[in-house]
Chains A and B, each alone.
Chain A
Amino acid sequence: MERFNFIFIVAGILFFTLAFVIMGALPLAQYQGIDVVSMDQIATNIPYQFDELARDYPEAFEKAFGTTEPTADAFKEALETGRQAYIAEACWHCHTQQIRRIDPNDGTEVGHDVSRWAPDTRLESEADEYHNAMNYPHLFGTRRVGPDLIRSSGRHSNDWHLAHLWNPRETSPYSVMPPYTWFFDDDQGKVPNKRGLGMVTYLQWLGSWHTQFAPSQYEDLPQLPFDESWYPPYVPPETQPGEEGDPYAEEDPYGGEEDY
């Protein structure tokens, strides 16, 4: 057991291969036969925010992508640019892209992911969401200084994202995120360059594969009759905000501001 050949073959090759099979190849085998979604397939479902980018920043858009129309080719290029910028700036070291399958409302005692990051859809991350050309390699992340981003599509407007990239504390006063002024062509943060547009496209794409509606489409939704029996009975809270006994009244860290 203390011979070179034995250590080389058993410890070096055999144990490593065993671990690779159990921990790498077997999980991989779960996705055998599932085709990787290509960029062309991704570009068949362009989020409406990309149309808005083309509409709101026509000159920057044309300079970046050579067209004023939000075409599939422009979208693919923007998405790839955004992903590359996301990796180059190591965004993934402070923002995760996974909603773990834990939530107190799902019966576990601790954990928060679903309620915090997908409070409306209650969708945790599934493997097929990552099985596409935008995940070579995956961007799960291992640290959350800022919010998770896998459901970020539609959470904020394009303009919010651009303002946030220009100076994060304009939109999020307590953020520690550094400004990314090189995503802009001017010195006021009003003209995004190709990377800026790409980054917004990428952020608005993350999670866009789940149903979302453009504001104009809300009018077309079928109107359902209101049925009180669908909802649990309303139980008024024991104390009202600001009243005596409200646990948060004394220590509101936001000084009454609510808008962020």
Chain B
Amino acid sequence: MSFLLTATCAVPAVGAVVTAALPAGTTEARRRTSRATALGFSVAALVLAAVIAARFSPDGPRYQLTESYSWIRAFGISFSFGVDGIGAVLVLLTAVLVPLVMLASWHDAAPDSGDSVAGTPAPDGSFENNRRTQGFFALILAVEAMVLVSFLATDLFLFYVFFEAMLIPLYFLIGGFGDRAGGPEQARQRSYAAVKFLLYNLLGGLVMLAAVIGFYVIARDQNQGTFDLQALTRAIADGKLVIDSSAEKALFLGFFFAFAVKAPLWPLHTWLPNAMGESTAGTAVLITAVVDKVGTFAMLRYCLGLFPNASKFFAPGILVLAVIGILYGALLAVGQKDIKRLIAYASISHFGFIIMGIFAMTSQGQSGATLYMVNHGISTALLMLLAGFLISRRGSRLIADFGGVQKVAPVLAGTFLIGGLATLSLPGLAPFVSEFLVLVGTFTRYPALGIIATLGIVLAALYVLVLYQRTMTGPVKASVSGMPDLKARELLVAAPLIALTIALGVYPKPLTDLVNPAVADTLVQVHRTDPAPVHPVAATPGGVTK
């Protein structure tokens, strides 16, 4: 038994504690120390994640590097970790994005200066104020640790606990840190966004708790009183654990509700634009590119793995919601005036694609959906972080406040364009591969839905290009004229993301190799095989009827 997975989760957790415990950031040097410490821990986590990916063999069993430690024996709960191909790529994604988010947010959590929230005298020198920097970076590490546990847990209860607990650090990230330029109205908005985020997700989580308890009780009545995922899926496959149809549907809905809030699926999405709009760009990336992936990941692993029949039963309905989400998100993105909210709605549209790929239940669809999670993470992180750089230069999130940026800051505009093009799935960039796979995968089983969903691509081109055109091209607005171009630190954030976008667009094979066996296993669990390709009606031999 190796300790690799535990270590991967523990490193950021320890980092969070260490960062929070460093001496208060009264001087810039001390603040730099705490930022560097946090970054160091996140890089260490990245190294461990890379080791996981390297040691994972796609041809081996589904869950590898497994570890298990007893936790609460009374309820059959253990600290069980194991990684499958889907988990491995998402762990990599998380580990790559968190250091970049930190680097991008380097100065976002400086202590308040005089003109702080609400115009009240700044609590200068207060404990809280001096610890802002540490608090922000410690919270990011805490979120990273919890997300990693959710991806690596092979114990249903362990997953639930961290799925739910990660809301708390996120809640403080959203509510406590944002652009502070806006005065009391903005502070109110931000607090509203944080509460909305927490209540939506908490409700989802509590409904899931009821389902978890119900599932446990049913399983225990059949002498399968455990939360161990592998044991449970084996018992279901062997027919040792039989859940009657109506109970299975109810449990499925309980789980799915929580994941659909988190993902977010239309119509449970409304917390996302608020949360992403009001938080810092770094937090927004953390939410949409990392945390929300836990929702879609869990649909794939838990909904499909534990409730195969109910998944098949509800799939058509979920697909319809997903397609509505694709179009709805895209249409609303077209109409946004606020850059961050635009990206949020675009994400809702993209989550529609991911969920569609999962519930189409074809191998292309699900491989595509998993790739989509990664690619969406990378491309949205790129676009959002650059948008954050742009916004911090002007002090406004409104599209109308920008214009002609490409003349003053060509590098910023160019990288922003790459992020945009990735978001609209330009062929050659990573998201194209996954979007194509999802659409093909859906089309082979549900042609009508596949065709309607394609409209989402058209709308994506519209909202991305209009955003670029309004902010970057045209005459240089007076307010933009002195805008500096990307600094070295910012380039350092953008460069790896751009490289990944291009590399995975041209050569996605390393990822697909990791993902495909796990997807195949999931499809076996739900007893689905790919529909046989439909051949065009073969011409009658001889070819002539008359």
A, B: real partners: no
